[in-house]
Amino acid sequence: MPELPEVETVARGLALRMVGRTFAKVEQRRPDLRFPLPVDFARRLTGRSILAIRRRAKYLLIDLDDGQVVLGHLGMSGRMLVSDARPDILETHDHLVFTLDDGACVRFNDARRFGMMDLVPLAELDRHKLLRDLGPEPLGNEFNGPALAASLKGKKTPIKSAILDQKLVVGVGNIYASESLFRAGLSPKRIAATVQGERAERLATSIKQVLTEAIAAGGSSLRDYVQADGELGYFQHQWKVYDREGQACAGCDCDLAKTGGIRRLSQSGRSTFYCSRRQR
DNA sequence: CGGCGGTCCTGTCAGC
DNA sequence: TGCTGACAGGACCGCC
């Protein structure tokens, strides 16, 4: 499910319900997710109050009142399900069930179990194995054209693979990689090192725009969610190229029968979508 | 050292 | 209808 905008939306939605509340009950329904859960995970959370809920890269951070932080990742299929009360009947793959002191319930459901949770002292968070090598936040000022150009120097890998590398910039996943390259007019096959100067400027700007717009779309679906309750996560998507193989490219007035429209290719085992006419 | 492919796990869908 | 294989939004690890 989640790239940066989805995790951001989940974090904001959870914050609305959870900040200021206390974990009244925590049910751990299997010993492991992607990794074993920390020893006594449920017991160590019970009775703790929630100070803040944040995001770093695609990770969720839940700050507790005892100086510990819940570090979570939704993996590919992880979902947070929120309801006013704990359901009598849980769903398949509801691995963690959090009941709050106001009776509200948050469930972590993850079919593929690529998600994870850990409990880390706040003081050690930056040194955590999963966080210490992460690159800059794409929406921060430190990520810009010149910085991106510098990090791409010497890289022989295709630009699509490069921007999926979380050491280079965080938060861009398979969908928004295709979308950002389309907006920047860059071929996903282009050698990363050749994205310099104006091209790097365009790509950095496109990444920021694509992610910002997706967060805004998530915010509008959050309003519905807050009223309706239920799942936090993917919202309406209006992708320009992702999952649109064979369809006409928006803004390309070429003959679909001749060009074949949006193309799909496989790069290091993952699908990429692009318009060969508008992306060079 | 960088870059690529394999791998973890379950669900869904297309094709036969 | 039932089976099989491909594929799915992530990211670590080991190997070349």
A270 CA – B6 C1', rounded, Å: 13
Q: Which nucleotides of chain C does any protein CB come within 7 A of? A: 7-12
Tokens at residue A34, please? 């992607």
pLDDT at A158: 93
Q: At what angle do helices A4-18 and A197-228 cross, to 10 degrees?
A: 30
Contacts of A143 (CB under 8 A, 6+ apart): A136, A137, A169, A204, A207, A208
Output residues with Cβ under 7 Å from nucleic strand B.
A 34, 77, 92-93, 111-114, 154-158, 161, 192, 268-269
A21 CA – B11 C1', rounded, Å: 34
Q: Which nucleotides of chain B does any protein CB come within 7 A of? A: 2-11
- Alpha-carbon distance of A107 to A214, in angstroms, equals 24
Q: Which CATH architecture has domain A4-127?
A: Alpha-Beta Barrel (3.20)
pLDDT at A177: 95
Can you list the residues of chain A whose pLDDT is less than 50? 228
Q: Which residue has the tokens 């120097």?
A: A153
Query: Torsion angle, CA of A263/A269/A270/A274, rounded to 10 degrees?
Result: -20
pLDDT at A225: 61
Strand partners, A54: A61
Q: Which nucleotide is nearest to A161 (CA to C1')?
A: B3
Q: At what angle do helices A197-228 and A174-184 cross, to 10 degrees?
A: 130
> What's the mean pLDDT when you consider all of chain A?
91
Distance of CA A172 to the CA centre of its chain: 7
Q: What is the CATH number of domain A145-237?
A: 1.10.8.50
Query: Torsion angle, CA of A152/A157/A161/A164, rounded to 10 degrees?
Result: -30
Query: CA nearest A244: which of A216, A210, A203, A272?
Result: A272
Domain boundaries, chain A: 4-127, 145-237
Contact, A233 CB vs strand C, < 7 Å: yes
Q: At what angle do helices A145-152 and A197-228 cross, to 10 degrees?
A: 110
